Structure 1
């Protein structure tokens, strides 16, 4: 079933919220190797759960964007750019971090 652009926006928003959660946890906990003994078990579990949620939401979003672009006869980067006009990347202005 084809998605609407509004549904893509909702999916992008959910993925961005999950990404922001991961970024916030990184800021709160710091890099795991910069603390004596690393993160606690609870911190590691919380971070890994947040990271998996972001990864899964983003994977689903990317598949949906590709399907939407194909069905609409548009280029995928064009659709992605349109989404980012509405919802800026959570890392813009924060510096780049990798998961």
Structure 2
């Protein structure tokens, strides 16, 4: 499916990029944990805040993807894949 870049795609790409950035912050904090999983109070608060920030941009992205897919009669999965590709995601290899 070829989707023409337009205002709605620019909006979706912006949301995807914001979600990716917030998710990267969560992943960085996860990697900073020691092997025992022990966290200081400061690490716990930082992780909670990062998780909430990610959720605050991820949920609108999902809602907006669904809205545009339904409104424009597009397959939601294909739209999401097109947005992720435009935002620089590398597709995961398909396992046989």
Alignment TM class, shorter chain as reference: 0.7 to 0.9
Per-residue deviation, 1:30: 3.6
User: What is the total number of aligned residue pairs between the two structures?
Assistant: 84
Deviations 1:7-54 (A, max 9, x none): 0000000000000000011112246xx15xx21111000000001111
Give the TM-score normalised by the residue count of structure 1.
Answer: 0.77
Matched, 1:46 2:46: yes
| Alignment RMSD | 1.7
Structure 1 partner of 2:22: 18
Gaps of 5+ in 2: 1-6
Give the TM-score normalised by the residue count of structure 2.
Answer: 0.79
Give 4+ residue runs of structure 1 displaced > 6 Å after superposition: none
CA distance in 1, matches of 2:34, 2:22: 18
Counterpart selection for 1:9 from 6, 13, 33:
13
Gaps of 5+ in 1: 93-99
